[in-house]
Amino acid sequence: MLVVKLKAIIGTFAVALVAAPSALGYGWPVKPFHKPHPIRGNFGDPRTVFTDPFDPSGLFGGGAFSFHNGVDISAAPGQPVYPVASGTAHVPDMAAVTVRSSGGRVFKYMHITPDVYEGQKVKAYKTVLGHIDGIAQHVHFSEIDRSIVVNPLGTHHLVPYRDATKPRVASLILALPNGQRLKTRAVTGTIEIAAEINDAPALPVPGAWHGYPVAPAYVEWSLTSSTGRTIVPLTTVADFRYTIPPNRVFWHVYARGTYQNKPRFGAQQFRTWPGRYAFKLTPTALDTRRLPDGAYVVKIVAADTAGNRGTHSESFTVCNVDPAACTTPPTP
């Protein structure tokens, strides 16, 4: 029953896959068009603006939380930005241009100073849409296919794109339902399980964003007993390879304790802090009293859009019968 219930709950919040992306690939919106450029923000990255000042309770406070709906391509201030497909320009404000192309595709270019006017016909790689904002130093690039926002790094979209980096599972997180982290791998009662995972950009990012992490595109996990009995089969908890889930389920995909690169808490922005990306493996708390006492193994798999995979296994002990005699198992 535990396996069935967990699968049903997790499946409720798993990202629904859409049909395979269009086979119409395109180049980059900045020169050189047919050479990869550094990406400092991935599709699906957490975007967090906390209302409360930073403190332990602040991580559980309110604010604005969303999935990054494009990629942030690093570029020099003033560098021209071009459309990746011909179409009709829309200028919603003085920091963005949208181009509606054929086949129901819409491309958005943000953090630029527009050089085109509303309704202007623009040509791919010919028309200058605008220039990179001096403070932002990147263009936020989004693609919408037939009303669905899609990952520009997916197959047959932004090309060429090569990535040899591998996502890294930094740690397994065990916590109480109130979010308080456990410092032991010997557990009783009801717990939540999460994993801190990050990836490195495919190309080094220059300037002030050098060395900051990005999120993986895919995360799955499983739970087995030390004897090999499956408790939770390999289950997807995040999948940004094609699209992103609605923002209302942000805290069902990411776990509390997550914040973006250079996060804002209250009125203060921490400009030197790298982001912290914790993925929620159990969408609802796990009642360990429904499991026999003993050791259990959590396996986590994280991947990027290029298929590079990072794996991590870690054990914890359930000891509800005699908590005083509980010991932490060795890592597999």
Assign residue 87 the CATH number of its domain.
Answer: 2.70.70.10
For residue 312, what pLDDT band results from cuts at 50, 70 and 90?
very high
| Chain segment 155-177, per-residue pLDDT in tens | 889 999 999 999 999 999 999 98
List the beta bridge partners of residue 225. Answer: 296
Is 332 within the bounds of a domain? Answer: no
**CA atoms of 242 and 18, how far apart (whole Å):** 7
For position 326, what pLDDT does the model report? 81
From residue 19, alpha-carbon distances to 69, 145, 150, 220 in Å are 18, 11, 11, 20
List the beta bridge partners of residue 81. Answer: 130
Instruction: Find the mean pLDDT for residues 145-160.
Output: 93
Q: Is the pLDDT confidence value at 32 over 60?
A: yes
**CA atoms of 262 and 273, how far apart (whole Å):** 5
**CA atoms of 80 and 182, how far apart (whole Å):** 50
What is the b/e burial string over 99-112, where b = at least 16 CB atoms within 10 angstroms of the residue's CB? bebeeebbbbbbbb
Residue 82 sits in which domain range? 39-150
Q: Mean pLDDT in the chain?
A: 91
For position 26, what pLDDT does the model report? 96
Among 187, 199, 207, which Cα is nearest to 287's?
187
Q: Dig out the tokens for 113 from the structure.
A: 């100073």
Q: Is the pLDDT confidence value at 19 over 50?
A: no
Note whether 170 and 310 are same-domain residues: yes
| Chain segment 100-138, per-residue pLDDT in tens | 999 899 999 999 999 999 999 999 999 999 999 999 999
Which CATH number covers residue 310? 2.60.40.1220
From residue 133, alpha-carbon distances to 75, 80, 137 in Å are 9, 10, 6
Count of domains for the chain: 2
Note whether 101 and 226 are same-domain residues: no
